[in-house]
Chains A and B, each alone.
Chain A
Amino acid sequence: MNWVAPGRDGAALAERSFQSAYARLLTSTRFRKAVFSRHGSNVDGFDAQVIERLRAMDWDRTSFYAELLVGNRIASISEAFPTTAFLLGSHLTRLARDFGDESGSTDHRKYPEACAIAAYLMHSLETQRIGPPFAIDVLTYELAKLRLRYEYRLPLWAQGVCHSASKFDVAMRAQHPVYVHRHPYQAILSLACDIEKVCADVAAARMPRKGMVQSTMLLLHVDDQGVLHQEGVNAVTAAFLLLADGQTTFDSMLDALATLFAQGGFERGAQLREGALQLCGRLLERGVVGLTFDVRPRPASAQVRAP
């Protein structure tokens, strides 16, 4: 952040220190209790003068205001991560308070603060036994959706990336190297719960069953109007998309898929090729992948001879 300091005389420095302590007083329950408990003249490194100024404030109203801020934070969490907030239940208020006791956020704007809170909630879910076991997956899912909605930019695709199934067909027949690019604003999530069922239960204000375990792979992507699309995908499609980095040729992707799924009976042959061609065609239609082609004349040795 780019700050300008107009002056740094003693009074201004003292006021800066006061404002830091003041901000903590309003956002950290632990610090507020330490200040108003009146034990000791220094609290958390702030000098006695600063602490005395804080202690001169109206305790009731300051605390009331601080609780309003916690309420605002809970509202922010509920807006950004509604299903997670529901699953956290009574833990939510404590976590919203603890967030202030720990680092808090440095940017109160909706998206930056949501990301900071999500990081804190994720850490809490990983280290504390709170909420159902699938709460981490739900937060991962809700954060991914939020990120895609806020972070997508236009143009979605780099210049020259094509979405024509017929051009794909022509290039494949001509044996030109084809590079598959996955959508730049997409997320592939591997979740251990039936996320759609969980969200539906929560939308109906029902707590989902704790034992709801189901391996789910989800593809999320955003279109150029900012509309988020979501669909279940299988492991092969997910692998195909992960391999579609725009640098690997379609043929090399087939090799990698054959290796990845060798145990599943995949063989590098016509059947895999045909299946991958159809998959790529479907993904092209849905705008999930794009293509670039290398149409330079191939060296004579690489030309395929007519039978």
Chain B
Amino acid sequence: MLCSEIDKLAKVTLIGYPATGKTTLTKLLAQNEINRLYFPTHGLDLKTVKLEEYILRVWDLGGQQSYLKTYSRDYLLGSDIIFIVTDSTPRNVLNSRELINYACHFVGKDCPIIAIANKQDLVKTDGRMDYKRVEDILHIKTYGLTAIDPSERVKLLNIIKKELDKIAIRRRRKD
């Protein structure tokens, strides 16, 4: 791989408890078919997504405790962006604080840790928390998304692009 290509490679890691929508977000990015059936991710899944000049390697880690305990440390290392995915239920949002603290141990300040308050389509009907409330609880930048809606792909790509551009500026300053 050429040096210029390596510069544009970005490792995007998704972590979160089971059934929060990490795989659906990954499928959304990769433009794979999204169905509503829930199949837990065993271990992890990887997808490559082209985003303008960037090549994103998206790491989708299974949310089961044994996967998180065994693998998350290794998979978080080297991340350019970490997304903490919640399903916006109050219990899940509260539990997700633990994941943020955990992720902070393995990455430097250069790596943004961003929350995705997923399943925002259920805010009015199923007691899910509005993304701004999720942000208040988690104390990290939070975006609201509905991963099952293919039109949200652009929004997610814009979030990633914005963060990668910021990282690129920081790196250039350092150099």
Partners in one complex: no
- Name A's B-contacting residues (CB within 8 A): none
